[in-house]
Amino acid sequence: MNDAIKRKTALARQMRKALTTPEWLLWERLKHRTDGLIFKRQYAVGPYILDFYCFKARLAVEVDGTLHSLDERAEKDATRDAWLQSQGLEVCRLAAADVYRDADAVADGVRLLALERAARFSKI
């Protein structure tokens, strides 16, 4: 493993211990594996660390706070999303405010999207 990958993995490990409140609320709902989906939190993919990732669905889930609406952050997010999509991943961006408002409904929506995508990939 090269040094850059080691550093990225170490950073992801640190970030797992310091989830934001909306990330924690969502994680508490996604970590239960009753439907066969497995989500990883703060998962390193290429040059990025994803808030959540589901292998079966090739789905990246990002919880965005208010900073993501700023022009420069929105540009970085678009670049990041384009790179992830070029790797065959779908990116689902969620507003932190929505998670605060109804974490159960947001988690249900994420699981439904992941199940639909996983079903498509299992037919390939």
Instruction: Report pLDDT digits (tens) over 55-75.
Output: 999 999 999 986 655 567 788
Q: CB of 61 within 8 A of CB of 53?
A: yes
pLDDT over 90 percentage in the chain: 63
The end-to-end CA distance of the chain, in Å, is 31
Q: Is the pLDDT of residue 84 over 90?
A: yes
Helix ranges (DSSP H) in 31-102: 71-86, 96-101
Q: Top-level CATH class of 3-122?
A: alpha beta
Q: Pick the more confident residue, 42 or 18.
A: 42
Taking only the tens place, the pLDDT of each residue in 8-28 is 565 555 655 668 999 999 999
